Amino acid sequence: MNAIQRQRLVLVGLLVAGVTVAITLVLFALSENINHYYSPAQMAAGEAPAGQRIRGGGVVVEGSVQRAADGLTVFFDITDGAATVPMEFTGLLPDLFREGQGVVGTGHLNEAGRFVAEELLARHDENYTPTEVQRALDEAESQEALQ
């Protein structure tokens, strides 16, 4: 191997190492921002990891909304038809938040099985249901039809 070949080999090695480091950094950054969606049935079945940031949603159960004494914390239940999970949110509720409407939250599942949302999104019109919520509702409905 002459000097020019050795120089090219070092350059190729540095290029491969640089690309590997760049890809590793991108994948690491993406993994911190990926929030997997879990339906209430999956949360109730223990499929959702406790304490890890996740997204979850469903339809707000009628008559389940309760406010804490501080006025900012709201407790309610969400369902996909197959299971119901208690949910907690502290902050200003979206204007379109109502019982019987679909919501999607980002937060974590605590040890007691309550989904503590840090962000809460409500559906924006009567014809729209978040994709994940609609899919969970459809799956729960199809499982009921099979039984």
Please state the residue numbers annotated as binding site for heme. Answer: 124, 128
Angstrom CA distances, 124 to 2, 13, 72, 74, 95, stand at 68, 53, 22, 20, 9
Phi and psi dihedrals of 49, rounded to 5?
-75, 135
Q: Which residues are annotated as a binding site?
A: 124, 128
CB 49 within 8 A of CB 109: yes
> Rounded CA gap, 98 and 140, in Å?
22
CB 39 within 8 A of CB 104: no
Angstrom CA distances, 65 to 60, 75, 140, stand at 8, 6, 23
Sign of the CA dihedral 54, 60, 63, 68? positive
